[in-house]
Amino acid sequence: MDLWHCTARLVDDRVIAAEATSIRTAVDRILTKCLPRGLVVFAVVDNHMHLLLHGPREEVGETMRRLELSFHHHLPIPRPFERARFRRVADRDHLWRAVPYILKQIDRHGVRTDPLWEGSALHDLLGLRVPGRALHRRLLRHLPRLREGTLLGWLDVGAELAAVWDEPVDGERLGLLADAAAAAFALPNLCAGGRAPAAIRAACQATGAKVNVAAIARALGVGRRTVFRARRAEVPAASIRAVRRQVWLRVALRRSRRAGPSPEAGVSDGRGDRLFLG
C-alpha cells in the first residue's frame, strides 16, 4: 500500500488560509498540483494541511515541494514551510483511520473560519466541488466499501439534505447562488477569471426554469443577456449538481442554526449504507 499521510505547516506556525477566498485558493492549488500526482484526500486547516498521496516516497516528497512553492506564489505567505512530515499508511485498517482523520480536521481543531468545511476534500467526494470530482473514484479504489452515508455522517449534514440537494434553486435562495457557484468551482468569487464563466453558466442552469432571469442576473452580478446565453449553453450535469448542492448545504446549515458540522459527528466504516458512486 504505497500511500503516505503528509502534513505541512509554516516554520512559525502562522495561518495559511483563514477565510473563504484564501481557503478556495489553497484548495485550487492542492487540486491543480496534486491531483495529477496521486492525491487521494486532503484538508486545509488554518495553519496547516494534511494530504493523503499515492506513490513512491521520492515522488510524494517532490509533490509536497511543488505544492509549497505554489502556495507561496498564490497566497500571501511570508514565511517558509517547515520540512513536511510523511507517514506511510501500513494497511487497510490504518487507512480507515487516516481518511476520516484527515477529512474531519476542521472539526478536530474547532476551526470556525471555515464553517462549510470548504478546506476538506469532503466537498469533492460528495459532488459539491467540480475540480476535484476525480477524487471519489480514486478513494473508492482504496476503500471500495466506503458509502455515501458515511461521508454525509462525517460532514454531519443529515439525511434530509441528501434528499433535496439536487433540486433546482428557487427564487428565495438566489442570495446564496453566487457564493455557492464560486465554491463549487473553487473560486474566490465569480470575477476571478479562469473557471468563472463556467461557474456562471452552471449557476444559471442550477435555478428553476420559472425563476426570473433579471433576478438571477442581479444575484450573479451579470447582465440578463449573459443569463439567457448561459441557459442555452451546454453545461455538464455534474457542474449544475455541484452548484445546487452548495446552495442547499448553506440552507441546511442555516436552518439547523449551526455554524458548521458539530463535534458530535460520528465516524463509522459505513458498511450498511448505500455505496457512493458520485
What tens digit of pLDDT does each residue of 118-156 get? 999 999 999 999 999 999 999 999 999 999 889 988 887
Q: Has residue 96 been placed in a domain?
A: yes
Q: Return the CATH number at 14.
A: 3.30.70.1290
Cell numbers 452580478 correspond to: 221
pLDDT at residue 266 tops 50: no
Average pLDDT over residues 42-55: 95
Residues 9, 105, single domain; the answer is yes
pLDDT at residue number 110: 67
Provide the 3-class DSSP secondary structure of residue 258: coil
Give the pLDDT band (50/70/90) at residue 78: confident
* pLDDT top residue among 261 and 166: 166
Question: From CA 244, how far away is CA 261, in angstroms rounded?
Answer: 19
**In the numeric block, which cell numbers belong to residue 99?**
481518511
Cell numbers 505541512 correspond to: 8
Average pLDDT over residues 60-84: 95
Phi, psi of 231 (to 5 degrees): -70, -20
Average pLDDT over residues 197-201: 98
Burial call 9-42: b when 16+ CB within 10 Å, e when fewer:
bbeeeeebbbebebbbbbbbbbbebbbebbbbbb
Q: Has residue 166 been placed in a domain?
A: no
Residues 106, 213, single domain; the answer is no
Q: Has residue 229 been placed in a domain?
A: yes
pLDDT at residue number 278: 34
Residues 96, 181, single domain; the answer is no
Residues 91, 186, single domain; the answer is no
**In the numeric block, which cell numbers belong to residue 31?**
487540486
Write out 65-96 in H/E/C secondary structure: HHHHHHHHHHCCCCCCECCCEEEECCCHHHHH
pLDDT at residue 173 tops 90: yes
- Split into its structural domains, the chain has a count of 2
Residues 13, 115, single domain; the answer is yes
Residues 111, 197, single domain; the answer is no
43: left (phi over 0), alpha (psi -120 to 50) or beta: beta
Residues 185, 244, single domain; the answer is yes
pLDDT at residue number 276: 33
Q: Has residue 141 been placed in a domain?
A: no
pLDDT at residue 184 tops 70: yes
Computed on alpha carbons and rounded to an integer, the radius of gyration of the chain in Å comes to 19
Q: Has residue 143 been placed in a domain?
A: no
Please give the residue range of the domain that contains residue 58: 3-120
Residues 103, 200, single domain; the answer is no
Q: Has residue 188 been placed in a domain?
A: yes
**Contact yes or no for 106/15 (Cβ under 8 A):** no
**Contact yes or no for 31/131 (Cβ under 8 A):** yes
Beta bridge partners of 45: 48
Q: In this structure, which amino acid lies at residue 230?
A: A
Q: Has residue 38 been placed in a domain?
A: yes
